[in-house]
Homo-oligomer: A and B are copies of this chain.
Amino acid sequence: MREVRVLEIKQSVFADNDRQAQELRQELKEKGVFLLNLMSSPGAGKTTTLMRTIEGLRDTLKIGVMEADIDSDVDARTISGSGARVIQLHTGGMCHLDAEMTRQGLAGLETEGLELAILENVGNLVCPAEFDTGAVKNAMILSVPEGHDKPLKYPLMFSICDVVLINKIDVLPYFDFDLDQCREYIHMRNPKAKIIPICARTGEGVREWTKWLEEEVKLWREGR
């Protein structure tokens, strides 16, 4: 069994999360670390997508991953197989990470030399959407088995995400999922959202996603 570091995150004491997030974003800019916040429902495929993302970008970018969970370290153990720097964050029952908690995670991960830090947020479509983590970009994964009506039910999550990955498209034939309808619902919430259908398990569509991410990191670095 692979050993991974586990960090118990403490509850934040700051009332003004937006300010904490802005400060963290500024600090990371100075260090040259692009922070991506990855969100989804439980079991939508965040960890498998991350494995594919690391595989696609590890020759180009130095990547670190923070795996946030209520309990267990199964995801961090999986990611540690990719060769990326990784730390497991335990939220002590909390349903999301805010900027101060993310800061604790980054300190545990050690950002020295990193170019891309990815936060795998707690599996939840409600609470994580309410807290700015200090990330440059928010990404979410909606998986086909969850249904195409999710943007109607979780409006805030879809409205704050820059990119929505529609995962598990290999099982589209077995589910009543309307991809065009889903695109329409997502764009109702956020007309600018980039939508990329993928299958993290087989790798289908993943190149478009890693290209998008690589380009965003490049633009951000140039604009610093």
Kindly identify, within residues 122 to 164 of chain A, every residue whose CB is under 8 Å from any CB belonging to chain B.
Answer: 122-127, 130, 143-147, 149-150, 152-156
CB-defined contacts of A175 to chain B, threshold 8 Å: 171
A26 close to chain B: CB less than 8 A: no
CB-defined contacts of A153 to chain B, threshold 8 Å: 42, 69-72, 74-75, 123
A17 close to chain B: CB less than 8 A: no
Interface residues on A, range: 35 or more
Copy tally for this chain in the complex stands at 2
A116 to chain B, nearest CB (A): 24
Candidates B71, B95, B127, B145; contact of A152 at CB < 8 Å = B71
A169 to chain B, nearest CB (A): 12
CB-defined contacts of A41 to chain B, threshold 8 Å: 41-43, 123, 146
Seen from chain A, the residues whose Cβ lies within 8 Å of a Cβ on chain B are 41-44, 69-72, 74-75, 93, 95, 122-127, 130, 143-147, 149-150, 152-156, 168, 170-171, 174-175
